[in-house]
Chain A
């Protein structure tokens, strides 16, 4: 008879008792892209929460007539201390309305992060509810819901968001709603696919035979098993949502002046690209870093949470 070494046994038991999430977290710690992504997002969250501390000026106050300010128009060129500039009063210069660009970019973090997170949370909520309903009920409900999702997916996302915002009227809240709608089908499809593969498994059939209500089956068994791909997709989605929101603001359909929002700052200053390129450069870099942070974290999470990828 084969004899199992005690050490091996202990190790495998230890492995089995480990929580799935702890395991995932352990995997995440070894992923450089997840670490870098979390660091970037962490820094951005701190900047957003403590924006008044980081900002040197009021983001919507014009510097004309303020004591000690020249209020010179058009915009001052950027004065970056590392590059040897002596007077770091406005480190990224002034915008076309003589407002401090650095403070506007800092406050813009708040808008972009909240738009990204709220949009994706909303669409995950609605999409998952629809997808689970479709997958669990099957039949006609499934058909109607999924064909509707197909129609939404048939439109290029930005185009659909533009059309929706046109109807609802320009503004940040409506832009947020428009983008949310374009994201719903992804989560509906993902969660439906998970439900279809889980609902016929023995533990679910057993639960049903025991007389559990559909709601209990969905909440206690299906959702926890379906949530992983949704979380990964959601993290990657935040970056895209931020890009879409910036694009809508750039077209004048999202955040309205004087709200400090990156896409809106770009939209205001794009006609002055050839004379004051820094006004265009910095908000764009801010968007890029933020989106990059979410993409890196999402990629890392996909590798850490997806059991299909063999990590050895």
Chain B
């Protein structure tokens, strides 16, 4: 197993290097003068020169690349040209929104998708099965951003003044400023600068609410999360449901399932213990592959629901040519994507020994 993990880790290194190289090149290739974009049209040549020197942009490209790689390994992603703050700090600020949204979207997709798929496979060709598959087909065909807009209209306009009304924008009710858990616990005094990682977790509102036992905050955060999470989660839900269904169908026809039935095991044991365990392998891969969809979905939904996450910040920064930010965010997202895929692969190897030895 260890050998398999090491092999999989070494395999990811060239890909990560490739990502660094590609994002570096992409960011440098964005047309337009970054100096004019940041300092405005009236910046003189001398001011621009100073700007280039300060940001290391006067060095030859290969040197810039080396500096970039060294800084990246030290966790320094440079300063955002637009916000005049370290990109890392902005990431700590905005990534929690996206992580929280992605987590709940995927949770929704898995918790609903897997049972639906399993039940429709078990009741193959029943009305439920046909209905589920039609629903899944429609689900994968919907544009995320359109679904988001329609949900916002349904829950914020049509269902307004009913108990089902949900807020169509923001992460919390305007004016709410939850106290971070590290202050509540007394680890830091008011005004002290906490560790980045603590700040990161405190900005995941649902987690912060649980840690500070703040029920009101939890409900508020969840209410704001429902619509965007439904929008982002629907396509992965449909894909997961389809995959679980076909995977369970295939397993139910296997000899060992027939044997299990033949020796008189209860149906509950046959399905739960023999069929499901094996059927879940491809489902795990599909869940892993869905992270990309969740990220793409987040980019589109954050704009609709006015959430300041990485997706929205990234899209805004592209138009204002803030390329240190674009580069930093893209690299972190892509690297995260590679690492998640690696974890899924390792998990897969753990669950299915045949993979490890191939």
Report which A residues bind B (CB closer than 8 A). Answer: 33, 147-148, 150-151, 154-159, 162-164, 166-167, 169, 239, 243, 246-247, 250-251, 263, 266, 270, 273-274, 277, 280-281, 283-284, 287-289, 291-292, 295-296, 299
Contacts and interface: CB of A to CB of B under 8 A. Distances in A.
Contacts of B286: none
Contact of B152 (A155, A246, A247, A273): A273
B211 interface: no
A250 B137 contact: no
A33 B334 CA distance: 36
Nearest to A167: B29
B149 A263 contact: no
A6 to B, nearest CB: 35
Contact of B300 (A157, A169, A247, A287): A247
Contact of B149 (A151, A280, A288): A280
B153 A277 contact: yes
Interface-centre pick from B14, B15, B143, B299 (highest chain A CB count, 10 A): B143
B18 A280 contact: no
Contact of A292 (B30, B138, B318): B138
Given A166-B30, A266-B146, A288 B138 contact: yes
Given A281-B150, A284-B146, A288-B141, A156 B292 contact: yes
Contacts of A155: 19, 22, 330, 333-334, 337
Contact of A251 (B142, B149, B300): B300
B143 A287 contact: yes
Nearest to A310: B253
A288 B31 CA distance: 34
State the 5 A-B residue pairs at the shortest beta-carbon distance, nearest first: A284-B146, A151-B18, A158-B296, A291-B141, A292-B141
A252 B26 CA distance: 19
Given A156-B296, A159-B296, A251 B315 contact: yes
A249 B76 CA distance: 33
Given A163-B26, A284-B150, A251 B303 contact: yes
A169 B32 CA distance: 11
Contact of B146 (A158, A166, A287): A287
B227 interface: no
Given A155-B22, A156-B337, A167-B30, 5 more contacts: A164-B26, A166-B30, A251-B299, A288-B146, A299-B137
B295 interface: yes
Contacts, number: 127
A164 B326 CA distance: 12
Nearest to A246: B143
A250 B315 contact: no
B300 A250 contact: yes
Interface of B: 14-15, 18-19, 22-23, 26, 29-31, 137-138, 140-147, 149-150, 152-153, 156-157, 291-293, 295-296, 299-300, 303-304, 314-315, 318, 326, 330, 333-334, 337-338
Given A156-B333, A287-B146, A295 B19 contact: no
Contacts of A162: 299, 314-315, 318
A239 B299 contact: no
A151 B22 contact: yes
Contacts of B142: 284, 287-288, 291
Contacts of A296: 137
A167 B26 contact: yes
Interface-centre pick from A156, A239, A296 (highest chain B CB count, 10 A): A156
A170 to B, nearest CB: 9
A143 B174 CA distance: 53
B254 to A, nearest CB: 13
Nearest to A266: B146
Contacts of A292: 137-138, 141
B299 A270 contact: no
Nearest to A269: B149
A155 B292 CA distance: 8
B137 A154 contact: no
28 contacts: A33-B137, A150-B18, A151-B19, A155-B19, A156-B333, A158-B299, A159-B299, A159-B330, A163-B23, A163-B326, A167-B29, A247-B296, A247-B300, A250-B300, A251-B299, A251-B315, A263-B143, A270-B149, A274-B156, A277-B157, A280-B150, A284-B143, A284-B147, A287-B146, A288-B143, A289-B141, A291-B140, A292-B137
A165 to B, nearest CB: 9
Contacts of B23: 163
Given A247-B145, A266-B145, A270-B149, A159 B140 contact: no
Contacts of A156: 291-293, 295-296, 333-334, 337
